[in-house]
Structure 1
Amino acid sequence: MLTRDARRATYLRLGTGEWAATVAFTLAYLMLRDTLAPGDQIALAAALVPLLLILMQAGSYWLLARRWVGVRVMPPGVAGMYRAFRLANPIVLAPGLGVVIWGASTIGATVLIAGVWLFAVVEYLNYYVIRLAYPVAQWASLVRQRRTPQLMKDVRARGTAAGGC
């Protein structure tokens, strides 16, 4: 078991990493968009927006969790917000798929845009449904264990601590 300080350091690394990924994807889009046809720009944005939202949620979670890790449960307002995100993210992801399918003009653009959208889906699953992030060498055996993501463990712990709220 890691000490509180070690977990806080890990959470800092994870949170800043997710925020850095958000910035990197945004910059990549800004550099790439003028090379794309207008329909492809819209389709890429429709795939990218859910990804950016999920990455920001994830980064914020890790940075906020540094406050309570090893000391107490997630604050009720934060737990409620992440419960709402868990429900809202698929609603944001769904139209993105439609725009990807009907908005991309070439096979290359479709592959790129679908890849971004699928990455958003994987990030959603990893944070809200089933943990998917593991070291490559152990991935196959660990993902079969169908572990609950830490974010959802924290949300559920708040529900338990609040008498099921």
Structure 2
Amino acid sequence: MDRDMDPQREATLRRRYLSLGVGELVAAAVFLVIALQVVLPGWASLERPALWGGLAPLLVILVQAGAYWLLARSWTPHATMPPALATTYRVFRGADLVLLAAGLVLVVRHWPASPGGAALALGAWAFGVVEYLNYFVVRLSYPVTRWPGTVTQWRTPRLMQDVRGSRPRG
């Protein structure tokens, strides 16, 4: 960790983490409200599990990510992620895979009759997979202007760097 970081750079980093955290939580809330208020009322009751199968893993991962960024503000850049929190995110990493698999089973088992409904359920699930990969496997999000040249570098996501760098204090 950079214990001698310039205070202005530290404040900029903390604002960025705040923005990322709030952004992920707002995205989860928007997806949930749209699903409840706009999408689900038009779906047949037998098809609704397909939407939840696609959407639930995405929402869970977005909330975990938002919480991570907000919590990271408390240790970055002067300390490491608390060990208990690192353990929690290790558990999330495995549990999210199970959730994504179960979600896909729901999407397939309750496949919507309309192509648009099927695309929506499968699209939400695929977006959840992309978010999972971005936070737990390989960093996928970069500024648009740098994306093509940077994404192929297969960098470790910040969350996983923090999890791996966590060590007991004292």
Task: Indicate the TM-score class for this superposition, using the shorter chain for normalisation.
Answer: over 0.9
Structure 2 match to 1:81 = 88
Kept in 1: contact 2:53–2:105 (CA 8 A): no
TM-score normalised over the length of structure 2: 0.90
Deviation at 1:61, TM superposition (A): 0.1
Deviation at 1:72, TM superposition (A): 0.3
Q: Which amino acid aligns with 2:157?
A: P
Kept in 2: contact 1:39–1:105 (CA 8 A): no
3-state secondary structure, aligned to 2:154: coil
Unaligned runs of 5+ in 1: none
Structure 2 match to 1:99 = 106
Q: Which amino acid aligns with 2:20?
A: L
Which moves more between the two structures, 55-64 or 35-44? 35-44
Report the aligned-residue RMSD.
Answer: 1.5
Deviation at 1:105, TM superposition (A): 2.1
Q: What is the correspondence of 1:69-148 to structure 2 with a 5 Å cutoff?
A: 69-103=76-110, 104-148=112-156
Structure 2 match to 1:38 = 45
Structure 2 match to 1:26 = 32
User: 1:17 and 2:44 equivalent?
Assistant: no
Q: What is the correspondence of 1:36-75 to structure 2 with a 5 Å cutoff?
A: 36-75=43-82
Q: How many residues align?
A: 161
Alpha-carbon distance in 1 for matches of 2:13, 2:81: 15
Alpha-carbon distance in 1 for matches of 2:53, 2:117: 13
Overall identity of the aligned pairs, in % = 46
Aligned structure 1 segments of 4 or more residues deviating by more than 6 angstroms? none
Alpha-carbon distance in 1 for matches of 2:48, 2:144: 33
Alpha-carbon distance in 1 for matches of 2:131, 2:73: 21
TM-score normalised over the length of structure 1: 0.93
Kept in 2: contact 1:51–1:119 (CA 8 A): yes
Query: Which is richer in helix?
Result: 1
Unaligned runs of 5+ in 2: none
Deviation at 1:150, TM superposition (A): 0.2
3-state secondary structure, aligned to 1:74: coil
Q: Which amino acid aligns with 1:123?
A: E
